[in-house]
Amino acid sequence: MWGIHRMRYADCNGSEASEETEIVVNIGGVKQVLYEDVLSRYPDTRLAELVDCSVKSSGEISSLCDDYDPDTREFYFDRDPEAFKCIIELYYYGEIHMKRGICPICFMKEMEFWKIGSDFLDECCKSHLKEVEDELAEIAEKVKTILVDREGDPSAGGWQRFQICLWRLMEKPESSLPAHIIAIVSFIFILVSSVVMCVGTIPDLQVEDSEGNLTDNPTLEVIETVCIGWFTIEYVLRLISSPNKIKFVLSFMNIIDFLAIMPFFVVLILTSFGAGVMELANVQQAVQALRIMRIARIFKLARHSAGLQTLTSALKSSFKELGLLLMYMGVGVFLFSALGYTMEQNHPDTLFTSIPQSFWWAVITMTTVGYGDVYPKTTLGRCNAAISFLCGVIAIALPIHPIINNFVMFYNKQQVLETAAKHEIELMALRSGNHEMRAARGAHKHVCGAGVWNNAMRSCHSDTYISLLKEPRGTMHHLTELQKKINITSRIHD
């Protein structure tokens, strides 16, 4: 017998629990002796309802437990004995702590069975359940996306089906072979346009116009025009097929796509107004600024790289650490530049002419760059430089570790979520196939091994399995089953 031994218990008021009324429960084959006074502390729970079973009918008793032995007055429950160890803590300590290794979703089911509210969980377990709830919501969203991509919306009209197919083709490389090919072609265009933009600045590859000014190579301009044409067609098709046009336009990556193609058309429009407009100084500066904006197209690579997307998410979650880094550096730059100016201002050949001018020296020293264009010449100034160097290394190193941890955490989490979503889809397919096999074997009962197959299918589910498929009845049923699991954990916030 495990758990709390048979002894005299005292409640929080110092009164001793009686040993006269014992209630024997068998949880998954493990026997436990409880006492009436202890269980009566929470009368609304299932265990407290066992106290008055002597005056209840057999039907009422069977509704409370899985089996009952009237000779030994032992109640049998087909539940998890490890989870029951945590459940019974409520009656003696007033709260429940979920032990490690227990699935939070399964434990919430256990609490629901024993009619115990989630308010009795301690705070650390509530935060753990919140994390599990968020992960389940993300898995549900990924599963929903996969199911919609595979099955589509049967109620959609002809134009909507065309939009869905076009959206998969342009936005979901994993949905089909043509979509995968388009993603590869888009990736190649991004690389080519970036290389052309860089190569076009080499003077040896530029040509002179009629006035002797260097201009872009015509061949490179043709390649640039082809790349911009591809980007434009890709952006327009994605915009047409987008289910939410406003969300699409305001998306960060789509803003990058727009900025990558907008300078080309602006310059084209300005050029169409004639040479007189292009000769204006303000217009020429605007054209140069727009040409510089072409570097935004390199960020388009993030659309095809899961690593870059994870890095962006990690940086978003590391704003606090990045703020600390900037604060440390700002304080250090201000302090050491002021000290450096004070110690160097009396030297006849000083390079520290003012404190703001000394900021540059402090930045390159604390970041360990050290260009050597500005350097101290006095002994105190060199000591100040050595201290600023050491402080800079420490200031940069301290926040870096949490940022790296955030990146590793986000990357691993994305891998786990993708694997879990794919696992759910595979299990749904297996259970659908199992249902069809049972239907077929119902007409051929002489076929051997049906029970073995069914048992194997039942055994393939672990305690952490999120059941998405009770019967093969379509996408909405799968999502409903997953939503039930999410609702179990969301009760923690009620």
Please enumerate in sequence order all residues whose Cβ is within 8 A of that of 183, keeping only pairs 6 or more positions apart, or say none: 173, 304
For 341, the token pair is 């100016």
Which domain does 65 fall in, by range? 22-140
pLDDT digits (tens, 9 = 90+) for 52-105: 777 778 888 888 888 888 888 889 999 888 888 888 888 888 888 888 778 787
User: pLDDT category, 488, cuts 50, 70, 90?
Assistant: very low
Q: 22-27 and 74-77 as β-strands: parallel, antiparallel, unpaired?
A: parallel
pLDDT above 70: residue 327: yes
For 313, the token pair is 């998410």
Q: How confident is the model at residue 290, as a pLDDT?
A: 65
Give the whole-angstrom CA distance, residue 288 versus residue 275: 16
Q: What is the CATH number of the domain that holds 314?
A: 1.10.287.70
- Which of 253, 274, 303 delimits the end of a domain? 303
> At 448, is the secondary structure helix, strand, or coil?
coil
pLDDT digits (tens, 9 = 90+) for 152-207: 555 666 778 888 888 888 887 777 888 889 888 988 888 888 888 888 888 888 88
Q: How confident is the model at residue 451, as a pLDDT?
A: 41
pLDDT digits (tens, 9 = 90+) for 108-138: 888 889 988 888 888 778 777 777 777 777 7
**Whole-Å CA distances, 178 to 86, 156, 185, 301:** 54, 23, 10, 19
Higher pLDDT, 47 or 252: 47
The secondary element (H helix, E strand) that includes residue 92 is: helix 89-93
Task: Indicate if 295 and 341 belong to the same structural domain.
Answer: no
Distance of CA 180 to the CA centre of its chain: 24
Task: Indicate if 135 and 164 belong to the same structural domain.
Answer: no
Q: What is the CATH number of the domain that holds 121?
A: 3.30.710.10
Give the whole-angstrom CA distance, residue 457 versus residue 11: 47
Higher pLDDT, 131 or 7: 131
Domain contains 284 = yes
Task: Indicate if 391 and 265 belong to the same structural domain.
Answer: no
Q: How confident is the model at residue 107, as a pLDDT?
A: 84
Rounded mean pLDDT of 375-403? Answer: 90
User: pLDDT category, 11, cuts 50, 70, 90?
Assistant: very low
Task: Indicate if 165 and 297 belong to the same structural domain.
Answer: yes
Task: Indicate if 262 and 370 belong to the same structural domain.
Answer: no
Q: Could you tell me which residues are beta bridge partners of residue 31?
A: 26
Domain contains 225 = yes
- Which of 397, 428, 459 delimits the end of a domain? 428
Task: Indicate if 54 and 136 belong to the same structural domain.
Answer: yes
What's the domain count of the chain? 3
Task: Indicate if 127 and 202 belong to the same structural domain.
Answer: no
pLDDT above 60: residue 481: no
Q: How confident is the model at residue 442, as a pLDDT?
A: 57
CB 478, CB 147: distance < 8 Å: yes
Task: Indicate if 298 and 235 belong to the same structural domain.
Answer: yes
Domain contains 470 = no
Q: Which residue has the tokens 């880094």?
A: 325
User: pLDDT category, 284, cuts 50, 70, 90?
Assistant: low
Task: Indicate if 48 and 131 belong to the same structural domain.
Answer: yes
DSSP states along 395-430 = HHHHHHHHHHHHHHHHHHHHHHHHHHHHHHHHHHHH
User: pLDDT category, 383, cuts 50, 70, 90?
Assistant: very high
The answer to which of 8-12, 345-349, 410-414, 433-437 has the lowest mean pLDDT is: 8-12
Task: Indicate if 167 and 199 belong to the same structural domain.
Answer: yes
Q: Count of alpha carbons within 13 Å of 389, Cβ hemisphere only? A: 11
Domain contains 6 = no
Q: How confident is the model at residue 439, as a pLDDT?
A: 63
Task: Indicate if 206 and 337 belong to the same structural domain.
Answer: no
Q: Which of 144-158, 248-262, 287-301 shows the highest mean pLDDT?
A: 248-262
- Which of 303, 318, 339 delimits the end of a domain? 303
Task: Indicate if 368 and 268 belong to the same structural domain.
Answer: no
Number of helices and strands (H, E) in the chain?
20, 6
